[in-house]
Structure 1
């Protein structure tokens, strides 16, 4: 089975959808780095970096994230500096080639607790996308506002594409049901790598060395095969306009996207803990 992704040229020019500030281009000589100057920021929070600076950040953030996979800031930095120049442009082109993707690029919506009212999402039907998203946020104790702002991608439009991917990540969790602990994150990152080709999602698999042997075996025997099946067959999730399908049935959405629901990781872990507890009790009763 081959990857359903391509690196075809964009179907539309970015000039057709980018806002005026995104089309501004500085003179070539003013964008060159020197020891005493650096290009001006192209959008809020932008930090222009040179090639060696990005390389240093890539190595440092990768090492730090490996030591502590819960450092979201390091993972975000690694994602940005390794996505350019090719991979974030490929993702942007995938949006330009899709009708809904182009609409997202025109509208540039943001996913926050202000743009998505959680009380409303909690009031939606139980198996709806919005309800599943709110339920997942409540269960995991996270918020839509925890995502870092993109800083190190120079092109404003591509910076938005990365921001969009980052803010949609929790919807991927909600649709698949995968939790936020390391085993669940790695399973979802494997799926995201095959769906987006963003290098950071593939590099995250090195964090599997920090898993317990049973967790690592479960990841590679159960969840990695799921990630490969769904990642290769699914549509580009970057083109899902989540804000417009909040009332849609989540099972119907998975079928449309070609995403298979993975085994319930929390339930599997709960069953294993219960089994170990019973075995311990039987052993204690035997030795009493």
Structure 2
């Protein structure tokens, strides 16, 4: 098979099986390696899960438009200077504030390489590039606890296997107090809100940047969780 889109790496059955096992083991050993997580995510999402997500997008007017137009989320496409001029509680300003607070850039998402169908590959790319919006609207930091909570939220909403595996296994590497917080507060929050929220991939974030974040959360069915960063800060200070 010849490459079907930029960055595409066609694989035969043996190569795909080897990469499935290898990336899974490597990602379990080093869950902070985004390249390993990205590869394992692509291996586990095919063929059923990514096709189902594409079909769910095709059944929604906004989702169909996203698939047709194939927008990309980068610092240039979003125009971060424009976001800085938006109202304080707008989606755009909330997203920019989160990027600055966490030291994150929208330009760091790895390209999809191992999904053969170009449309399904775009769905996976869209998921990756929208991930930071999920952090921003929920206020979740990029510390491991926050990532686990967002992964639980994504798994309940999108059904991507890698997110469910991460939400289950990554807490095993955390201290007991953090596992307790996740088990009692943040994983239940993620599952509950993910299940009742509108399909995240059918949100055209670029078109709602000026809208009020509280209103968007209400329409999506998302409740804000307890502020994890403040909670961690208070625990370090010994505040109860």
Please tell me the TM-score bracket, short chain as reference.
over 0.9
Q: Give 1:224 deviation, angstroms.
A: 1.0
Aligned counterpart, 1:53: 15
Q: TM-score normalized by structure 1?
A: 0.81
Q: TM-score normalized by structure 2?
A: 0.97
2 CA distance for matches of 1:176 and 1:46?
33
Aligned counterpart, 2:25: 63
Cα contact 1:69–1:182 (8 A) shared by 2: no
Secondary structure class of the residue paired with 1:145: coil
1:265 pairs with 2:225? no
Q: Give 1:230 deviation, angstroms.
A: 0.4
Secondary structure class of the residue paired with 1:253: helix
Runs of 4+ in 1 over 6 A off after TM superposition: none
1:208 pairs with 2:186? no
1 CA distance for matches of 2:27 and 2:146?
16
Q: Give 1:59 deviation, angstroms.
A: 2.0
Aligned counterpart, 1:174: 136
1:199 pairs with 2:161? yes
Secondary structure class of the residue paired with 1:179: coil
Larger Rg, first or second structure (1 or 2)? 1
Give the CA RMSD over aligned residues: 1.2
1 CA distance for matches of 2:114 and 2:123?
13
2 CA distance for matches of 1:164 and 1:103?
13
Aligned counterpart, 2:187: 224
1:139 pairs with 2:94? no
2 CA distance for matches of 1:106 and 1:197?
23
Q: Give 1:115 deviation, angstroms.
A: 0.3
More moved, 203-212 vs 163-172? 203-212
Once the two structures are superposed, residues 226-263 of structure 1 have per-residue CA deviations (whole angstroms, 9 ceiling, x without a partner) of 01210111110100000000000001001111111111
Secondary structure class of the residue paired with 1:165: helix
1:159 pairs with 2:121? yes
Corresponding residue pairs, total: 239
More moved, 165-174 vs 69-78? 69-78
2 CA distance for matches of 1:99 and 1:197?
21
Once the two structures are superposed, residues 179-233 of structure 1 have per-residue CA deviations (whole angstroms, 9 ceiling, x without a partner) of 1111110110011001000111011121111101100111011001101210111
